Amino acid sequence: MHEHEATHRAAQQTEHPTEPPTDHRTETEHAASRAIASRIEALHTHDPEFARAAPSPSVVDAVRRADGSLIGTISAAMSGYADRPALGRRAERIVEDPDTGRRTTELLPHFETVTYAELWREAGSLAAAWADPASGGLNAGDFIGVLGFTSTDYATIDLACMYLGAVSVPLPTGWSAARLAPILTETEPRILATDLGSVDAAVDAVLATESIERLVVFDYDPRVDDHREALQTAVGKLDGRAPVVPLQEELSRGRRLPALEPRDDGDPDRLVGLIYTSGSTGAPKGAMYTASMITRMWQNSRTGTPNAAPGSDRPVPTIVLHYMPMSHVNGRARLISGLASGGTGFFTARSDMSTLFDDIGLARPTVLSLVPRICDMVHQQYLLEADRLSRTGTPRPARAEAEAAALTRVRDDMLGGRIVSALCGSAPLSSQMHTFMAEVLGTKVIDCYGSTETTRPVVVDQQVRRPPVIDYRLVDVPELGYFATDKPHPRGELRLKSVGLVQGYYKQPEVTARAFDEDGYYKTGDVVAEIAPDRLVYVDRINNVVKLSQGEFVAVSRLEALYSTSPYISQIYVYGSSEQAFLLAVVVADREQLALEQVDDDAAIRAKILDSMRELARDAGLNPYEVPYDVILEPQPFTIENGLLSGVGKLLRPSLKDRYGARLEQLYADIAGGRAGRIAALRAAGRAAEPLEAVLAAVQITLGYPASMVVPQAAFTDLGGDSLSALTFSTVLEQIFDTEVPVQAVLSPTSTLAGIAEHLAAAPATASVPRPTFASVHGRGATEVKAGDLTLDRFVDEEVLARAPKTPDWTDPSVNWADPSVGRTDLPGERTDPSADGTSPTATGNVLLTGATGYLGRFLAVEWLERVAASGGRLTVLARGADDAAAGHRVLACLRGASGDRTDWFDAVAAQHLEVLAADVSAPQLGLDRTTWERLAAETDRIVHSAALVNHVLPYSRLFEPNVAATARLIELALTHRMKRFAYVSTIAAAMMPDGTFLDETADVRTASPVRQLNDSDANGYATSKWAGEVLLRDAHDRTGLPVVVFRPDMILAHSRLTGQLNLPDRFTRLLLSVVATGMAPRSFHRLDADGNRRRAHYSGLPVDFTADAIASLSARSRDGYVTYNSVNANDDDVSLDEIVDWLIRAGHPITRIDDYEQWRVRFEAALRGLPEHQRRLSMLPLMRAYARPTEPRTSSMVPARRFTAAVAESGAGGGAIPSLSADFIDKYVADLRALGVL
């Protein structure tokens, strides 16, 4: 396992760092801090309660200088702030029902408080009562279990445990006796204290736990009938098993007893309490808190809210509203923080949170402790208030005004109007929610990262806190694709050493051993990214990452945080499976908001929720697979009581999976069955199916989108479709309509779903027009293709072939080829001037070009435009488009970019010499009307066929029409009326033989490579389709004398001069981007020699500007006959992919070389999956099978290119020499990627 030592600096072993942390705040954040400082100053001046609650410097010093014992520290705070209000509970009055006479309580709009002195005295009284031998004589070190919601009584009990020297065991509220049983069995408490709301579970626990001798009931009022009856029921059920005593009786008895001296033996390692983990990812474990750990919590809370208001030297008072359970470290820490700093802690009145916002409004806290669930509640209240304001008022306010007014009302009325500090912990907020909370509170929301085991935050606002952190490291999580070598930032599981870190789990030595690594670092189980030394960004829990069937990793808790901001979602549990390609969710809907919008039936609610999630996902830039495909609506909320939430509102995933897992898996099965059923129904309907309905349904089935997202005007690629999903989509449609649906038509950016439906609707009318297909030429299901299959008469009508003109003799000196009238009677060929040597034409006449919107094609177009303009000719470009204007718009946009800084020249020349026609080169007559076809056949002198569907994944059968049939269509045009010259852009892969050798430039491709095997190897389909085009051209030349020049380029690289001109989707660009972005490369991309050393190798790429110039120059010089150029980089320069990585490293890019190729491949692929979407989409991921294993190194001599090398030198193309790749060129590549925003 690779470990990344994120920092090697050891923190000083002190609680008071000598140097402040680096300030990473922006000017905006500084301005916000100044505004908060101003508010604090104003509150100190005008709010007496605020000023009186500020920490006292003398008491802070006394707490810090206490004798070091826990009791000494607490006593210093309690005596120092003796007369201040310490804790407050909502005031109540007894009311009697006039009909039944039963007495209940009614909350009053204020709090009743107890002072620090009173609180500490009550804790001593309770300790005395429990230590009294007459009631069993509790001893120091005995365990006391506490079950209930946070309150003044709870705090009194907790302080009494410390006073007595007992071990406090706060139990998770809302748990049943069965869930509590393992904890109680493990801890063996002698006393169990419970609030009235948990008394039933407590009674069952007493009956099941032999060690419990006494049940103490707190938050009990004997004047309330329900309280009294519940107590009597408990007494009856226990039937003498253990006494049931109200807390007030214990306190009264303790007051009458002699005062008890606090028990503290001074041992800093003495066990003081157990905090059980939430169980959100497994069984709860009791983290052991010692006296020294709790002492530090009191001493380190001396300022209340550190860093709350940088820029202000005025202390911030800690007035807080407590609602978090004491069984969670955050609830305990907030209580200690307030008491240690002389503040006042108020308690929410109801455990179900029904009074939370009333309580906050009355308490008017200065510090607000947040968890995501509370933020969701604030957000929902804001939405309701904004909706109410927008519907009322005279005149009715605009929505923006209503939202602004709602923010003010929530901040000033519901939240009290004096919050100057807010802290969020327990789980991360979505960025949207974080922004909203900062806006509504009017203050920065401090993000705190810690855990039960760390006892306090170790990372605050992404900054590692030193102290308490001594050291940390990031450790690779290879199964999830997180590595210390990840770019742009190292990622991995956070492991740390920290002051105050728990030493283990009570009575669970094996679990403790697993929690720490061999060097004593605590394994947090959290993945973080290190964006700078000591700056960490939380990524997710290891257990919260789901790997989908297609290999994508999804952080479900992040999605839950995002989707919880929907106004229609109250709670959500996102579910995924490694056997499925999409997510599902269980949602508790916000029925109140939905009712306001008059959405009430389940189908409409589901649709509203799904639409809302998709909108949030779009705004957040999520991938389609990160949006739940469907949801289960749950009418009952997730609660602590039903076991689905932890004490602080975190989802208990094991419990949620137990409850909903079977239903969610059934929903997966239903969705699969529904898709299969829909396909079957459409197949059964066959041609009777309505085409548009079938197309929309096929998209939904293929991409997993609901009907609401799939509209006729959408393009398949706009919906996230790629070549593989396009293949599936077209196959579904072909099975329904028995009509070929070309993949290139599906992937075309100009093709809409409605257009595909129109193609299907027109299919019966055009069925009588024979069109060559893969099946008709090679046989359905063929696994090999033969050159003998690819004869021109299977593509072009015999009559056209019979009338085809023969090639003129360009060397005949008796003919004046400069005369435009020459050749017009028999249409022999091109109307050009002879070359200087009188043997071949060099001017261009009228040129027809395909593929001008492609990467090479755009530069070819500029080259040819320059040539035709010089000779007074015309360049006709065929391109896809709804009409000529739309096609022209696409072509002009591409060509302007390819002309660099010569846009003025380009615009002027294009206006005179460029014609753009909307066409489909694979359709009969190129998709042109008859008149245009005839005109082009009569006027065109040269055809340059650069268009192709370049795809390394699709099979030959799916590339047959766009790459093979299209070539035949253009050959037909070349042979109609007058002979044209034909230039064909093939690929060097077409010349590659099964043994790895390459055809030379003189071989007849039909005899040298008569059969091609079809398989799923990399680029097999594409290479075979280009080979097939060469075979057809050879046949056409033999039949008619068609002059042909074939170019077989290898990798076509970036432009050597123009900024940003590179082919983002090509293999080399993807590889370069991926290596730089991940910072990983293998020792060698090729097989090593016997001694394990790199071997000499060569990379055969050429810049696009050189390639375009060479093709245009050599095409213009071409003579009669059939000429092939292996247009590759044939330099013997030892420039390989390995050398290119060397250049990148020397240029300063942090790239780690990994010796073992397989290890590199696994880690590289995992790191690619972890890249941001804009990089991952352009990475090597789709083409990784090309790098499944190291390749045999290729040298320049392996590809025969003597003819091409000589022709370049003779013509002067590209300066007359084939360029070698250089470090400067690779530097430009990286600069281009940065300029395009990809790196």
Q: Binding site membership for NADP(+): which residues?
A: 853-856, 880, 890, 946-948, 986, 1022, 1026
Distance CA 385, CA 405 (A): 9
Yes or no: say if 90 and 355 are a contact pair by the CB < 8 Å rule.
yes
Instruction: Kindly report the backbone phi and psi dihedral angles of residue 304, in degrees, each rounded to the nearest multiple of 5, phi listed first.
Output: 80, -75
Tell me the CB-side half-sphere exposure of residue 834, using CA atoms within 13 A: 14
| Both tokens assigned to 882 | 């709804």
b/e code 330-359 from CB counts within 10 Å (16+ = b): bbbbbbbbbbbbbbbbbbbbebebebbbbb
Distance CA 238, CA 877 (A): 93
Strand partners, 1103: 1053
Distance CA 897, CA 857 (A): 12
Round to the nearest angstrom and report the end-to-end CA distance of the chain. Answer: 28
Alpha-carbon separation of residue 554 from 244, 434, 640 (angstroms):
50, 21, 26
Strand partners, 147: 171, 194
Distance CA 1100, CA 1068 (A): 11
| Both tokens assigned to 87 | 């804790």
Instruction: Kindly report the backbone phi and psi dihedral angles of residue 806, in degrees, each rounded to the nearest multiple of 5, phi listed first.
Output: -95, 160
Rounded to the nearest angstrom, the gap between the alpha carbon of residue 803 and the centroid of all alpha carbons in its chain is 60
Neighbours of 802 (CB within 10 A): 7
1003 residue type, one letter: A
Tell me the CB-side half-sphere exposure of residue 865, using CA atoms within 13 A: 29
1169 residue type, one letter: R
Yes or no: say if 759 and 986 are a contact pair by the CB < 8 Å rule.
no
Question: According to the 3-state scheme, what is the secondary structure of 507-567?
Answer: CCHHHHHHHECCCCCEEEEEEEEEEECCEEEEEEEHHHEEECCCCCEEEHHHHHHHHCCCC
Under DSSP, the state recorded for 1092 is S
Residues near 1003 by Cβ (< 8 Å), separated by ≥ 6? none
At 93, is the secondary structure helix, strand, or coil?
strand
Distance CA 15, CA 1127 (A): 69
| Both tokens assigned to 757 | 């439906």
Tell me the CB-side half-sphere exposure of residue 443, using CA atoms within 13 A: 28
1176 residue type, one letter: R
Q: Are strands 167-171 and 244-246 parallel, antiparallel or unpaired?
A: unpaired
Alpha-carbon separation of residue 140 from 127, 190, 248 (angstroms):
10, 12, 22
Distance CA 12, CA 30 (A): 29
375 residue type, one letter: C
- Would you state the torsion angle of the CA atoms of residues 195, 201, 202, 206, taken in this order, to the nearest 10 degrees? 170
Instruction: Please name which of 786, 775, 791, 790 lies closest in space to residue 957, comparing C-alpha atoms.
Output: 775
Distance CA 1077, CA 893 (A): 29
Yes or no: say if 643 and 652 are a contact pair by the CB < 8 Å rule.
yes
Yes or no: say if 895 and 852 are a contact pair by the CB < 8 Å rule.
yes
| Both tokens assigned to 89 | 């509970």
Under DSSP, the state recorded for 623 is -
Instruction: Kindly report the backbone phi and psi dihedral angles of residue 780, in degrees, each rounded to the nearest multiple of 5, phi listed first.
Output: -60, 130
Per the annotation, binding residues are 328, 426, 452, 526, 538-541, 547, 650, 853-856, 880, 890, 946-948, 986, 1022, 1026
Per the annotation, binding residues for AMP are 328, 426, 452, 526, 538-541, 547, 650
